[in-house]
Every structure is written in structure tokens, then in C-alpha cells.
Amino acid sequence: MKNAETIPGGNDSGRKKEKGMEKIRLLDCTLRDGGYINNWNFGESTIRKIIAELVRAGTDLIEVGFLRDCAYERDRTLFNSIAEVKQILPEERGQTGFAVMALHDQYDVRKLEENDGTVSAVRVTFHDYDVEEGLAFCRRVIEKGYPLFVNPINIMGYDDSGLLRLLEKVNRIRPYGFSIVDTFGSMTKKELIRIYSLCEHNLDAGITVGLHLHENMAQSFLLAQAFLEMRAQERSCVADASLNGMGRVPGNLCIELIMDYLNRNYSRSYDIDPVLDAIEKYITPVRKREPWGYMAEYFLSAKFNVHRNYAEYLLARERFTAKDMHRILQNIPREKKSAYDEEYIAALCREYIGCGIAPARAGAKEEV
């Protein structure tokens, strides 16, 4: 495993020693998280051009897609192997490194090649109910020589004791990084302070802390600023963001905003123009077809820290008002919040309608 003092990147020249604000890095996740909008079908030419513009901007890390068990298509950012990833990476990489993500139960880690330096990090996700399986996957990634980021899904679903147990297990495998992932966009500043404090005081000193935010409560930019202010100066950190916030509705932190903020407040020198060019040419046309951004319904799913698919299920049944959704979502018990259960939400809706609380809208769909 690479030493935690080495910045993952395609070219580490001149960047081995992190000092001061160089400990803050940005990871663009457009091609991975943004793929939830267009089924990862960006088109090969667009994939290459987005990467090139992000490299020109001086982006520290670019997450180019998912490792997944699927048939590889050159127009999509889903890969079976690092060899396939290598095909879309540019020769001119500047100081930018590249990363991929794997959901532990959607990729056979036996297919992962030994690390040849093509990617700078592999990020692995798992749920609170399959931690041991996820960490076993993580160990295999480290054994193959990759710097590893542990990205547990829905960190808001862990109470303090549960998070402390997880951090203890993470320390044992000695990853490069550990990410605070606000999967359901339900984190407030107070909760970020609590979670970061637990991470800062219980993660080994050499482990980088990451942050991945969603826009359910329109707070991602505020929380990113708070994260930068509260972080310990000695601790390296990585903040995730995407072009124009492209990501599974309602979206992510906008990389153009956080780049500009770091330039003005932390003496960074990201070039915003290539980012704006990429947004105008490649992202805005997608957003016109498949919009994302803050919606009250996703605020409600965040308020109760439930899987966003519950809100999407209710949105698809047009008879429910926002007030109805508020009443239904608040009745989802803790054990059903993190993993989406369509049969359960359908039954909850039938019970709600059976109580005579939800009158159908004119022309609304009756089925639930």
C-alpha cells in the first residue's frame, strides 16, 4: 500500500509532501455519480472531453466511473477492469490522479488486476448491514496494491457507538482514506461537526478524511465550507463535487463553486474556465433533458433520513401531495430507512389511503 503521505495521482512530481492547504484536495465525481442521471451513457467522445477539461482545470482527482460486473461499452462509464479504464484516460494528465468506485456486491474483486499505477485510488462502498463483507472486499483491494478509500453508505445511519466500532475496524485495514458520505442528504452542520469529531479523534492520523454531500436540503456548499473550517490542519482531506452538481437527483456539491471558494479563501489556483466550458458543452444539454436540483420531496426524504427511492415512489403516484408524503415518510421505521423496500412503502401507502386521509387529486393515478 502507498504511504498515506503520498498524494494519489497520475504524476506525483513536486507533490509528495503535503503542507498547509495542499492537504485539501477535490475529487470530481461527474462521470460516476452523474451517471445516475443518464445511465452512465455520456458517449466516448464526451467522456474524454470532460476528463480533458477537468485536467486543464487542475482537478486533483477524477473519479471516472464504476467498476461493475457488466458488459463493457465504450460510451458508458462502467468498467469490468482497470485495463478498460486505461483506454479512456488521456496521455496528458498534469498533476491529476484518477479513481474508480466499486460497490462490493456488484463487482467481482477477483477481476481487479494488480495495481500498475493507472488509477490513484479505488473507493469501496457498503451498507451498515454488510460491513464485514464490504471490509473483506476492501482488504482484497489493498492486497492488490491500490490506495483504498472506504466509503460507507449513509453515515447518518450510524449512531456514535456504531460509528466508533466501524472506525476501529477501518483502522485495522489501514486504508488511504475514509469518507463521510451523506447518502440521503440529511446532514446538518451540527451533525457534520459530531461525525467529523468522531473521525478526527478515532481514525489513525495518516488516514485522509473525505466528504461526499447531496443537495436534498440545499446545504452542500455550506457544509463543504464548514468541513474545510473544522478540519484539523494536520489531516489531509478530499471533498467530492461534480460539474454543475450533476448526480442522482437532487444532485451533488457543484465543483465550480467549491473550486472558486478554495481559490478565494485557501490560495488555490484551479482554472475555472475549463470547468465552465465543460458545463456549457456537455452538462447543460443533459440537464435540460433530465433535470436535477433541490426539490421539496427530496428534502422530506432527507429530513427523515430515508432512502430517496421512497420519495421517488410517492412522486410517481400522483395522488399524494407534499403534505401526504411528509406524513407517510415519517412513519418509516429505522430498520427500513437505509435499504429501500418497495413492498413496504406500497403497504404503508395502502394503509394511509385506507384511513381516508389522502383524497385523490383530479386525474391522479389510483394505483399504489
Q: Work out the average pLDDT over 278-292.
A: 97
DSSP state of 146: -
Over 80: is that where the pLDDT of 274 sits?
yes
| CA separation, residue 236 to residues 21, 272, 299, 334, 343 (Å) | 9, 23, 31, 33, 43
- Give the 3-state secondary structure of residue 108: coil
Over 50: is that where the pLDDT of 122 sits?
yes
Quick one: pLDDT band at residue 297, thresholds 50, 70, 90? confident
Query: In terms of Cα–Cα distance, which of 339, 346, 351, 292 is closest to 314?
Result: 346
Please, what are the domains in the chain?
20-289 (3.20.20.70), 296-354 (no CATH)
pLDDT at position 6, please?
53
Least confident of 91-105, 123-137, 252-266, 341-355: 341-355
All 3 cell numbers of residue 156?
Answer: 447518518
Q: Work out the average pLDDT over 39-52.
A: 98
| Phi, psi (deg, nearest 5) at residue 364 | -80, 155
pLDDT at position 317, please?
85
pLDDT at position 361, please?
40
Residue with the larger pLDDT of the pair 24 and 366: 24
pLDDT at position 296, please?
86
pLDDT at position 11, please?
37
pLDDT at position 4, please?
43
In terms of C-beta density within 10 A (0-12 exposed, 13-18 middle, 19 or more buried), how is residue 123 classed?
A: buried
Q: How far apart are CA 267 and CA 269, in angstroms?
A: 7
CA torsion through residues 42, 43, 44, 47, sign: negative
pLDDT at position 131, please?
97
Cβ–Cβ under 8 Å, residues 301 and 310: yes
In terms of C-beta density within 10 A (0-12 exposed, 13-18 middle, 19 or more buried), how is residue 288 classed?
A: exposed
DSSP E strands: which ranges in 226-308? 237-241
Over 70: is that where the pLDDT of 368 sits?
no
Over 60: is that where the pLDDT of 20 sits?
no
pLDDT at position 358, please?
45
Q: Work out the average pLDDT over 97-104.
A: 98
Indicate the residue type of 52. A
Quick one: pLDDT band at residue 359, thresholds 50, 70, 90? very low
Residue with the larger pLDDT of the pair 280 and 365: 280
pLDDT at position 213, please?
98
pLDDT at position 356, please?
52
DSSP state of 76: B
Q: How far apart are CA 91 and CA 317, in angstroms?
A: 49
Q: How far apart are CA 26 and CA 255, in angstroms?
A: 8
Q: Work out the average pLDDT over 205-224.
A: 97
Indicate the residue type of 199. C
Query: In terms of Cα–Cα distance, which of 153, 176, 171, 158 is closest to 238?
Result: 176
| pTM summary value | 0.88
pLDDT at position 21, please?
54
pLDDT above 90: percentage of residues in the chain: 85
State the pairing for strand pair 237-241/24-28.
parallel
Q: What is the mean pLDDT of the chain?
A: 91
pLDDT per residue as tens digits for the range 139-179: 999 999 999 999 999 999 999 999 999 999 999 999 999 99
Over 70: is that where the pLDDT of 22 sits?
no
Quick one: pLDDT band at residue 318, thresholds 50, 70, 90? confident
